[in-house]
Structure 1
């Protein structure tokens, strides 16, 4: 998967913005001000850090060497994924799961605004 495709997958989620709070090289994708993905789109290999259910995070790490505890993040809730070593469909699902976890933690009024009760 190329960096532009990774970026597009993150931005196609509802109400997502890309910000650069850690400098111009680190793309942070947020919904309602909350981060769900962090990546350096110019890095080789291309990786993305994504939020994950803690039990699922452990299972994914055990099953896929390309998924490791989140780099510089809470390792219980975040995984860092080496994008090119996994099927594109799986990367898409991990991005969607990360987004859904963040949205689920938003106040009800914010979820309704996003059309996600």
Structure 2
């Protein structure tokens, strides 16, 4: 997965917007005005931060020690940094993105969820 594939995958989800609130080098994807993924445009290999359930976050870090890390510049309990280095398959990467998106959508007020 490269940055364009990541962007296309995220923008295909319902209600997603992209922006650069932290400067021109950090691409942020939101649903309902809440962040579910962010990535640095200059990271090589590609890496991105996604939300995660705290218990699952720990399990993923133990299972994939070369690819899943506590969220860089984020709440380490609720965010993971994923490095796209070949250890995780495309499907696994997409599942992590999907989980983050779903977690954020579930946290939105009911009226906002219904609009999405």
TM-score, normalised by the number of residues in structure 2: 0.95
Deviation of the 1:41 alpha carbon: 2.9
Listed one character per residue, the Cα deviations across residues 24-81 of structure 1 (whole Å, up to 9, x for unaligned) are 1100000010000010133201100000000100000000020000000000000000
User: What corresponds to 2:115 in structure 1?
Assistant: 113
User: What corresponds to 2:41 in structure 1?
Assistant: 41
5 Å-filtered alignment, 1:58-97, equals 58-65=58-65, 66-85=67-86, 86-97=88-99
* Greater mean alpha carbon deviation, residues 73-82 or residues 41-50: 41-50
- Structure 1 residues without counterparts, runs of 5 or longer: none
TM-score, normalised by the number of residues in structure 1: 0.94
- Structure 2 residues without counterparts, runs of 5 or longer: none
**Aligned-residue RMSD, C-alpha:** 0.9
What SS does the aligned partner of 2:13 have?
coil
* Runs of 4+ more than 2 Å apart: none
5 Å-filtered alignment, 1:14-25, equals 14-25=14-25
Contact preservation (8 Å) 1:3, 1:42: no
Q: Give the length in aligned residue pairs.
A: 114
What SS does the aligned partner of 2:94 have?
helix
Contact preservation (8 Å) 1:45, 1:82: yes
